[in-house]
Amino acid sequence: MSKWGGKLEKVDEYRWRIPESYKEGMRVPGLIYADEGMLKQIIADQALEQVANVAFLPGIVGYSLAMPDIHWGYGFAIGGVASMRVNDGVVSPGGVGFDINCGVRIMRTNLTREEVAPKIKELADALYNAVPSGVGSRGKIKLGAREISEVLAKGSRWAVEKGYGRPEDLQTTEENGEIKDTDPDRVSPRAKERGTPQVGTLGSGNHFLEVGVIDEIYEPDIARTMGIDAAGQVVLYVHCGSRGLGHQVADDYIKVMVKAMQKYGIRVPDRQLACAPVNSPEGKHYLTAMRCAANYAWANRQCITHWVREAFCRVMGVSERDAGLELIYDVTHNIAKIEEQEVNGLNEQLCVHRKGATRAFPPGHPDLPEKYRTVGQPILIPGDMGRLSYIMVGTDTAMKDTFGSTCHGAGRLQSRSAMKKQLNGRDVLERLKKRGIEVRTGSLSGLAEEAPEAYKDVESVVNVAHGAGISKKVARTRPIAVVKG
């Protein structure tokens, strides 16, 4: 693919600027968080062109930002952050993506690797059987036509009221798992039809469940507030999104936005960036429907959490109380949110798009749960299935420099078809097993696509985010079992 031929100015060790002069029509410069080594890979595809294209969008403030896990997406790059003024800016469904509120959560346990390891095969099987996964997976929950609207309005709370999970899970979920200002009537019948059979399903692609072990702790005091006490402690991850419902909401509103651009006289370099003013009927309707899809995703992760807890306790022969299994936190990494932030010394209402990027609010932020008020928002950065994952917290620097945002994962390096050509799923499975990682999946070819080699090394991604100060390392984990969707 074509290489980046444009200008890239070094700001410091971790930041690179695409000047506004690169392309006529850019309203702000682009700013890429990366180290010199990663940059070589980043310029090899079209991610930087996409960062420049996003800078065309009306009302964008500061920079069109790229987090260190940036890679080529469609329209927006994955790992992109863009903030538009609510007053005169736009919202773009492409800046959220098709998998609205794809996100990740992590639970702590009271068990150690030594206790879990002898039963790891059984545990991997139990998790695989407990949570429907794979392409087109169907859930165990039967929803009535009217009930789906309740899911869309209440999110995680719907699930907890139905008996899936604990009331306190809501406090440690971004937006309490129930983002406000929704309107289920703005979600099309098609989207609801797609979503109805899929509540409580993992889906496919990069979605997973993981049993991990705390491998290293960098900030013991902060880790303790999360219930992370020592190396060797077992934790559980859930990563998935809003399934067909979210995809259909994105489809529906991209069509609305393509029309709206003519109406409002907006021009963008890529139709996938289609957008409308935040305050227009089209913009408002998209945001209310998107929030419904976000709530669906939270309800989805909440139901899965319940089954993961059940399976874990059954296999380990412990009660839920003895197992712990408290939800440390749940973050979304595909969303647009209205946030009040400081721009040039003034408080401004912004529509912050995070596409493959995580919110990273600092200590003291009023939106944080009481528990984390003094330490900052927990940030969960899953790596690939063979290597490390990180737990970080938000910082003041993130608030100042990146609209309170940081990276979301390792970031892809190689295409899925390239991986399939190079690797055989069974070999990947065996290789991971030799490294002490039990993998369960319904799709061996999918496993080859998601092999560790497909991803950047998450360590280098996290080191850039940490080095640049937009989030702080707290602990890292290593997988011992993975269920891949």
One symbol per residue from 251 to 290: x for binding another protein (CB under 8 A), - otherwise; what is it? x--xx--xx----------xxx-x----------------
Taking the least distance from each CB to another protein, the nearer of 378 and 425 is 425
| DSSP per residue, 326-337 | EEEEEEESEEEE
User: Which residues touch 107 (CB under 8 Å, ≥6 apart)?
Assistant: 235, 236, 305, 308, 309, 324, 325, 326, 327, 328
One symbol per residue from 74 to 93: x for binding another protein (CB under 8 A), - otherwise; what is it? xx--x---------------
The alpha helices in 204-280, defined as continuous H runs, are: 220-225, 243-264
Taking the least distance from each CB to another protein, the nearer of 73 and 378 is 73
One symbol per residue from 203 to 222: x for binding another protein (CB under 8 A), - otherwise; what is it? xxx-----------------
Relative orientation angle of helices 147-154 and 281-316, to the nearest 10 degrees? 90
Under the binding rule (CB under 8 A), the answer on residue 348 touching another protein is no
Q: Tell the burial category of 250 from Cβ atoms under 10 Å away from its Cβ (0-12, 13-18, 19+).
A: buried
Q: What's the CA gap between 51 and 45, in Å, rounded?
A: 12
Give the up-direction half-sphere exposure of residue 379: CA atoms within 13 A in the CB hemisphere: 33
Under the binding rule (CB under 8 A), the answer on residue 72 touching another protein is yes
387 in Cβ contact with 437 (< 8 Å): no
Q: How far is the CB of 210 from another protein (least distance, A)?
A: 19
Contacts 24+ apart (CB under 8 A), 420-429: 420/445, 420/448, 420/449, 422/448, 422/453, 423/448, 423/451, 423/453, 424/448
Tokens standing for residue 355: 């596409």
Segment near another protein (CB under 8 A), from 80-88, 318-326, 367-375, 442-450? 442-450
Q: How far is the CB of 277 from another protein (least distance, A)?
A: 20
Residue type at position 354:
R
Catalytically annotated residue among 207, 239, 353, 408? 408
Q: How far is the CB of 190 from another protein (least distance, A)?
A: 6
Strand partners, 394: none
The alpha helices in 12-67, defined as continuous H runs, are: 36-42, 47-54
Judged by CB under 8 A, which of 443, 453, 460, 463 binds another protein? 443
Q: How far is the CB of 259 from another protein (least distance, A)?
A: 7
Q: How far is the CB of 471 from another protein (least distance, A)?
A: 22
| DSSP per residue, 149-173 | HHHHHHTHHHHHHTTSS-GGGGGGB
Under the binding rule (CB under 8 A), the answer on residue 197 touching another protein is yes
Taking the least distance from each CB to another protein, the nearer of 121 and 416 is 416
Judged by CB under 8 A, which of 167, 415, 422, 426 binds another protein? 415
Relative orientation angle of helices 281-316 and 120-130, to the nearest 10 degrees? 140
Under the binding rule (CB under 8 A), the answer on residue 10 touching another protein is no
Q: How far is the CB of 70 from another protein (least distance, A)?
A: 10
236 in Cβ contact with 107 (< 8 Å): yes
Residues touching another protein, count (CB under 8 A): 48
Of the candidates 308, 327, 386, which has an alpha carbon nearest to the alpha carbon of residue 124?
Answer: 308
Q: How far is the CB of 218 from another protein (least distance, A)?
A: 29
Judged by CB under 8 A, which of 58, 59, 62, 97 binds another protein? 97
Judged by CB under 8 A, which of 244, 283, 362, 382 binds another protein? 244
DSSP letter at 133?
Answer: -
Of 159-188, binders to another protein (CB under 8 A) are none
Under the binding rule (CB under 8 A), the answer on residue 132 touching another protein is no
Catalytic-residue membership of 408 = yes
Under the binding rule (CB under 8 A), the answer on residue 417 touching another protein is yes
Residue type at position 298:
W
Taking the least distance from each CB to another protein, the nearer of 258 and 343 is 258
One symbol per residue from 136 to 155: x for binding another protein (CB under 8 A), - otherwise; what is it? x-x-----------------
Segment near another protein (CB under 8 A), from 192-200, 210-218, 275-283, 345-353? 192-200
Taking the least distance from each CB to another protein, the nearer of 77 and 474 is 77
Q: How far is the CB of 181 from another protein (least distance, A)?
A: 25
Of the candidates 331, 347, 346, 344, which has an alpha carbon nearest to the alpha carbon of residue 294?
Answer: 331
Q: Which helix (H) or strand (E) holds 306?
A: helix 281-316
Segment near another protein (CB under 8 A), from 9-17, 94-102, 105-113, 458-466? 94-102
431 in Cβ contact with 357 (< 8 Å): no
Write out the catalytic residue numbers: 408
Residues at the interface with another protein (CB under 8 A): 45, 47, 71-75, 78, 97-99, 134-136, 138, 190, 193-194, 197-198, 203-205, 244, 247-248, 250-251, 254-255, 258-259, 270-272, 274, 412-418, 442-443, 445-446, 449
